[in-house]
């Protein structure tokens, strides 16, 4: 079970994934640069990633200039269950 693996490896109880976001620097045409200009002073795209207990990517959300505050995303909307 994934939550047991997180506890065994990282001592995190009831954890099924780790989420983090980052800014990826990009070059864009000057006509649209203001849409991608971030608070750090350069053009970028946000990326949100989820990893499993083996640090493998299980979900990536990126490529949208409209993702402004990733920390405000409702994680319940990101749940993806892979059917075997």
Q: Specify if 2 maps to a domain.
A: no
Q: Could you tell me the residue range of the domain that residue 33 belongs to?
A: 17-78
Q: Specify if 70 maps to a domain.
A: yes
Through-space distance between the first and last CA atoms of the chain, rounded to whole angstroms:
16
Domain count, the chain: 1
What's the pLDDT at 32? 82
What's the pLDDT at 59? 86
What's the pLDDT at 65? 52
* Distance separating alpha carbons of residues 28 and 42, to the nearest angstrom: 11
* Distance separating alpha carbons of residues 26 and 23, to the nearest angstrom: 9
What's the pLDDT at 74? 53
Q: Specify if 63 maps to a domain.
A: yes
Q: Specify if 5 maps to a domain.
A: no
Per-10-residue mean pLDDT of the chain, 84 residues long, equals 85 86 87 82 86 88 61 51 49
Give the global pTM. 0.60
């Amino acid at each position: 079970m994934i939550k047991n693996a997180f506890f065994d490896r990282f001592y995190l109880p009831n954890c099924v994934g780790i989420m983090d976001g980052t800014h990826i620097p990009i070059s864009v045409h000057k006509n649209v640069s203001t849409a991608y200009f971030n608070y750090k002073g350069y053009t970028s795209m946000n990326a949100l990633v989820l990893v499993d207990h083996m640090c493998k990517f299980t979900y990536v959300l990126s490529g949208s200039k409209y993702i402004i505050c990733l920390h405000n995303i409702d994680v319940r909307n990101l749940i993806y269950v892979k059917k075997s």
